[in-house]
Amino acid sequence: MIRYHAAWVVPIEGEPIKDGWVMVDSGRIVALGRRAVNDTTRGLELGDVAVMPGLVNAHTHLELSYLRDQVAPASSFTMWAREIIAERRKRMQQSSSDPIVTAAIDAAIDESVRSGTAVVGEITNGLFVTYEKLAASPLAAVVFWELIGFNLKDPKSDGPLLDFDPMVEQAVSDIGTLPPSEKVRASLAAHAPYSVAPLFFRAIKKAVDRMPFVPSSVHLAENVEEVQLLKTGDGPWKALMKDIGSWSHAWTAPGVSPVKYLDEMGFIDDRLLVVHGVQMSNVDLAIVKERGATLVTCPRSNGHTGAGLPPIVDFYESGARIAIGTDSLASAPDLNVFAEVATLHALAPSVPPASLLESATIQGARALGFDADYGTIEPGKLARLLAVDVPPGTSDVEEYLVSGIHPGQVRWIDA
Ligand SMILES: [Zn+2]
């Protein structure tokens, strides 16, 4: 049993505690509280730090870490997409056992841990490599095996593929062959409305609904070109898809917003992480809230890819659950969730720091199905806790924590 004393304890569930303590036994939190002036109970003095739960990076692609600094900022999303497609094709569709790819994943896991991340939502196209690396790491994770296909052909008839069930069932059975892990789970994700055929979405939803509780994920309403494609059936996405041989003549535009499109298919529910939402209207946000889905925002990536800046204030005012992701190193400068939080704070200073800290911890943990162990400091949860250096005499610790914390200020108290 160890009792830690700190200038601040930030439990997330409840107000920050000045001169706080946290008691830990066998890796679990037992109790927490405030030290009274005459309290002489001994404890391990951590000094001028804020003790808080490890962070949750709810959307990243560690697998793309080899693309760090390789794809320049773009003025439009489809221009950026063209660049990244070209880069990935250079590496033979990023064969996931390529040593450059795997070394970059190792470095990315290390960087995530050093910057205070406890849990990640990882999108992968190379299920086995990423899963095994995460299972062997200190991170807890959901590995989303991302399915893509807009104009897939039926190998028997050579016509468009109409029955996606066998393909999706194969993916589910591949997931079933993964070695069991206490803290890494696998699930399926659809890439985006412009890269996944409508019947494919339906087959993925059907399969996920039958899996024991795991979340699912989709990139949604990320860019104006996506909105245009779904409204009109035309624009830069159609041109790009034609150029790469992915366009389907069988597809007709639904004439609605990306959120409405997936909602009409029944795809949006409380197991879903909808990622980006840069182009969501207030009507779209109301649907996300109504369905109980979690919106994951990645503002630094949105700025880099040309998608534009997300409407952070609208996100929070909608009442929807909001989590935070860094996205991949192809579009973010680092994997530091504290830096992502600082960007949200700069973009939306009116959003209370406490809400941003919830987004970076419990909201992501809940969305990924890890809230029994992570996301807050509460008795019974894992003591996967950070000690973050704060200046002596800090009075508003939440404001300090959302203003930009660098990895040198962060250590794990159980390490
Ligand atoms: Zn992504």
pLDDT in tens, 255-280: 999 999 999 999 999 999 999 999 99
**Residue 401 structure tokens:** 């924590």
Ligand 1 center–CA 40 separation, angstroms:
50
Ligand 1 center–CA 37 separation, angstroms:
49
Q: How confident is the model at residue 96 (pLDDT cuts 50, 70, 90)?
A: low
Ligand 1 center–CA 327 separation, angstroms:
5
Ligand 1 center–CA 51 separation, angstroms:
30
Ligand 1 center–CA 344 separation, angstroms:
18
Helix axis angle, 99-114 relative to 127-135, nearest 10°? 40
Q: Tell me the per-residue pLDDT of 355-390, one tens digit each, with 9 for 90 and over.
A: 999 999 999 999 999 999 999 999 999 999 999 999
Q: How confident is the model at residue 188 (pLDDT cuts 50, 70, 90)?
A: very high
Ligand 1 center–CA 88 separation, angstroms:
14
Ligand 1 center–CA 276 separation, angstroms:
8
Ligand 1 center–CA 359 separation, angstroms:
17
Ligand 1 center–CA 84 separation, angstroms:
12
Say whether pLDDT at 39 is over 60.
yes
Ligand 1 center–CA 49 separation, angstroms:
33
Q: Is the CB of residue 375 less than 8 Å from the CB of residue 366? A: yes
Ligand 1 center–CA 193 separation, angstroms:
13
Ligand 1 center–CA 101 separation, angstroms:
17
Ligand 1 center–CA 123 separation, angstroms:
7
Ligand 1 center–CA 27 separation, angstroms:
32
State if pTM tops 0.75. yes
Q: Tell me the per-residue pLDDT of 198-247, one tens digit each, with 9 for 90 and over.
A: 999 999 999 999 998 899 999 999 999 999 999 999 999 999 999 999 99
Helix axis angle, 224-232 relative to 236-243, nearest 10°? 90
Give the number of other CB atoms < 10 A from CB of residue 27: 9
Q: 278-296 in b/e burial notation, b at 16+ Cβ within 10 A? A: bbbeeebbebbeebebbbb
What are the residues facing 83 on neighbouring strands? none
